[in-house]
């Protein structure tokens, strides 16, 4: 089957970029040798979405250690004469087990939609012919958090396309407990492929009461765009979007955002100078936060959503949010962050919310309700605006080249691969 992978036997992480289009064996359910396969399904992938995580992997800026370490573990299992015993201890590993004698690659991709074609003998709630998307967090259902309804922060989770083979392939093998059935008579397939990332925005919005509130979204990437749609539907009084990209600024306006501020310079600039004239990469942009204060009559927004993950963006939130306001942190970057004037956090009485992934399955239920509702315009906005009606935003796998993929990443905040 065709798949997009990173193969450590062919390319060095530090000196390579992109994904390789390769032909690899189709996944199989082999319960005789891998008992854990009884709880797996095989999906024929129809569409897979590209997100910020995939861009980070493409440019070798994210998840190096996790990807390389998990490939090594898969390879150990594939080579081990005692592989069956290992699989009994870690059933999820069987999903990445190649039918070859070794395993040196990771199939990328965690946003995808398709049709179930095979199910393991222990799978009761799914059947061949069902259409479905997947939760990207392969949770254990056994740890302290999972047993208390906090599966999104599972201690033992694996992530599709990162530490577990993903969906940038013609077929995907996944545990049945992360599969979400989808009614294609109510949600079109292209939109169904975006349920997982859209759920991120739904989860972020669920942390706060936005009805009648002023809101700022720092970072109008795909999740920021989705968040705009969700917040409009939840009754936010005004939404301010901040992003440097003219394409996303225009798209946000089409989605009905109230204000767009194009002064967001953390991507390009090494840092703004402090009072002593020294460039600091974490310092907030006073021109930006002053503009937000002006829009809000000197008060600041009730709620800030940090969706970009830059240190300066976090500090922009702290200076744009009113006293007693709330800050939702979603953007991810590894490493240390500096809070500019830590005293401000305490004295201003901010409430912080950290958001990862989706609540399983509460967020998915809400996402389905929003997408299936024919009156709220969510599907139309996702397909007509975010995907631009499929105009150059859907890449058939047969037409994949690194050059074409990079071109589409540069042009479109969101696009899909069609298998």
* 33 in a structural domain: yes
**Would you give the distance in Å from CA 52 to the centre of its chain?**
7
User: Residues 276, 390: one domain?
Assistant: no
User: Residues 379, 335: one domain?
Assistant: no
Q: Do residues 18 and 58 make contact, with C-beta atoms less than 8 angstroms apart? A: yes
- Residues 161-186 pLDDT 10s: 999 999 999 999 999 999 999 999 99
Q: What angle do CA 153, 158, 161 make, to 5 degrees?
A: 125
pLDDT for 276 equals 56
* 131 in a structural domain: yes
Of 354, 374, 403, which residue constitutes the final position of a domain?
354
User: Residues 75, 171: one domain?
Assistant: yes
* 32 in a structural domain: yes
Cα dihedral value 240, 315, 356, 267, nearest 10? 80
pLDDT for 102 equals 81
Of 354, 377, 404, which residue constitutes the final position of a domain?
354
* 346 in a structural domain: yes
User: Residues 253, 169: one domain?
Assistant: no
The rounded distance, in Å, linking the Cα atoms of 12 and 27 is 26
pLDDT for 272 equals 57
pLDDT for 281 equals 82
User: Residues 252, 390: one domain?
Assistant: no
User: Residues 34, 173: one domain?
Assistant: yes
* 48 in a structural domain: yes
- Quick one: tokens of 217? 């979204």
CATH of the domain at 348: 3.40.50.720
User: Residues 389, 273: one domain?
Assistant: no
* 201 in a structural domain: no
User: Residues 102, 37: one domain?
Assistant: yes
User: Residues 322, 383: one domain?
Assistant: no
pLDDT for 334 equals 82
List of the chain residues with pLDDT < 70: 81-101, 263-279
Tell me the backbone φ, ψ of residue 255, rounded to 5 degrees.
-80, -5
* 189 in a structural domain: yes
pLDDT for 271 equals 53
User: Residues 385, 308: one domain?
Assistant: no
pLDDT for 99 equals 42
User: Residues 350, 363: one domain?
Assistant: no
* 116 in a structural domain: yes
Give me the domain span that covers residue 216.
Answer: 208-354
User: Residues 25, 163: one domain?
Assistant: yes
Count of the separate structural domains present in the chain: 2
CATH of the domain at 404: 3.90.180.10
């Amino acid at each position: 089957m065709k798949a997009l992978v990173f193969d450590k036997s062919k390319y060095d992480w530090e000196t390579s970029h992109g994904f390789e289009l390769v032909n690899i064996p189709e996944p199989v359910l082999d319960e005789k040798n891998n008992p854990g396969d009884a709880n797996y399904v095989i999906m024929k992938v129809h569409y897979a979405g590209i997100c910020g995580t995939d861009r980070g992997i493409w440019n070798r800026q994210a998840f190096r250690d996790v990807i390389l370490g998990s490939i090594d573990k898969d390879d150990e299992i594939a080579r081990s004469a005692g592989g069956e015993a290992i699989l009994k201890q870690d059933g999820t590993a069987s999903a990445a087990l190649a039918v070859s004698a070794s395993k040196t690659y990771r199939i990328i991709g965690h946003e995808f939609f398709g049709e179930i074609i095979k199910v393991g003998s222990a799978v009761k709630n799914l059947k061949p012919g069902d259409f479905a998307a997947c939760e990207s967090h392969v949770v254990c259902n056994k740890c302290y958090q999972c047993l208390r309804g906090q599966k999104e922060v599972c201690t033992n989770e694996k992530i599709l396309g990162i530490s577990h083979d993903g969906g940038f392939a013609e077929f995907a093998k996944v545990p049945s407990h992360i599969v979400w059935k989808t009614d294609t008579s109510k949600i079109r397939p292209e939109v169904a492929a975006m349920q997982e990332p859209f759920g991120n925005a739904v989860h972020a919005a669920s942390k706060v009461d936005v009805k009648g509130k002023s809101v700022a979204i720092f970072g109008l990437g795909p999740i920021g765009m989705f968040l705009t749609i969700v917040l409009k539907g939840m009754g936010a009084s005004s939404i301010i979007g901040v992003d440097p990209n003219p394409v996303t600024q225009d798209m946000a306006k089409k989605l009905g955002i109230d204000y767009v501020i194009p002064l967001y310079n953390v991507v390009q600039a090494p840092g703004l100078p402090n009072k002593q004239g020294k460039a600091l990469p974490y310092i907030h942009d006073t021109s930006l936060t002053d503009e937000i204060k002006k829009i809000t009559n000197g008060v600041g927004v009730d709620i800030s959503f940090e969706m970009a993950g830059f240190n300066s963006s976090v500090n922009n939130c702290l200076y744009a949010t009113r006293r007693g306001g709330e800050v939702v942190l979603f953007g991810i970057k590894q490493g240390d962050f500096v809070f500019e004037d830590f005293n401000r956090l305490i004295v201003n009485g901010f409430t912080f919310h950290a958001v990862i992934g989706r609540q399983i399955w509460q967020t998915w239920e809400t996402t389905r309700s929003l997408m299936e509702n024919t009156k709220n315009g969510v599907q139309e906005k996702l397909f007509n605006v975010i995907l631009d009606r499929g105009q150059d935003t859907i890449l058939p796998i047969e037409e994949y080249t690194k050059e074409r993929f990079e071109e589409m990443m540069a042009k479109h905040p969101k696009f899909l691969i069609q298998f």
